[in-house]
Structure 1
Amino acid sequence: MIKSILILLLTHFAYCAVGVSDSSIVNFPKNAPDSIKANYYIKAANNLKGNSPQEAYEFALKALKLTETSNILTSYIDAQNIIGSIKHDLGEFNNALESYIKALEKAELLHDNFRTSQTLNYIGIVYLSINEKQLAISYFKQSLSIAENTKYNNQILNNLYKLGVIYESLDSLNLAYKYYKRSLLIEEEMKNKEGMFYSLMGIGSISTKKENFYQAYIIYNRALQIANETEVLAYQSLCYSKLGDLMREQKEYVKARDFYLKALTIADSLNFNKERKDCYFNLAKTNESLEFYNDAYYYLGRYVDIKDTLFSQEASVRNLRMQIRFDLKNKEKEIEFLKQKEQQNNITRNFLIIGFVLILLVAFLLFYLNRIKQHSNKLLKEQNREIEQQKEEIGTNLEQLAATNTELAAKNQQITDSLVYASTIQETILPHSNIFKNYFKDSFVFFKPRDIVSGDFYWINYRKGNVFIALADCTGHGVAGAFMSMIGYTLLNSIIEEISDASPALILEKLNIKILETMHQHDSSHDDGMDIAICSYNLKNRILEYSGANQNIAIAQNGELKVYNGDISSIGGTFGKKEEQNFTNYNIEITTEATVYLYSDGFQDQFGGPNNQKYMSEQFLSLLNNISQFPLQQQNDMLNLAFNDWKGT
Structure 2
Amino acid sequence: MPNRIVYIVAFFASLNTFGQESFQIWKSKVYVHLDNRTELLKDFQSAGRFIEKESKHGKALLAIDDSLVAREMYFERQVYMDTLVSSGRRSKLSKPVMAKYLKRLAYAYYDNDQAEGTTDILNKILAKEYRLPTLSRIECLMILGNLELNFQLPDRAISKYRRALSEITAQVEKNKPLVRSSIYNNIGLAHSRLNNPDSTIYYHRKAFNIRKKENSTYAMGQSLNNIGAMYYEIQAFDSALVYFEKGYHFRSVSSEATESSLAESWTNIGKTHFRLGNPTKAKELLEKSLEYCKRANNMAIMKRNYEILHELYASEGDLKAAYSALGNYYLVRDSLYGLEETKELLRSSYKQELREQALSDSLNRVANRKIFEEKSRREEVIKYGLGFALVGLLLILGLLLRNYRNKVRSNKQISQQKNSLEEKNDEIIGSITYAKRLQDAILPSEQSLNKHLPEQFVWYRPKDIVAGDFYWMHTSLEHTFFAVSDCTGHGVPGALVSIVCSNAMNRATKEFGLKETGAILDKTTELVLESFSESKENVNDGMDVSLIRLKDKTVQFSGAYNGLWIVSEDVKAITGQLQSNQFRVMEGEGKSLIEIKANRQPVGYYENRVPFNSIDLELNSGDRLFLFTDGFGDQFGGSDNKKYKTSKLKRFLLETSTQSILDQRLAIATEFEAWKGSNEQVDDVCIAGIEID
Tell me which interval the TM-score lies in, with the shorter structure as reference length. Answer: 0.3 to 0.5
TM-score, normalising length from structure 1? Answer: 0.44
Larger radius of gyration: 1
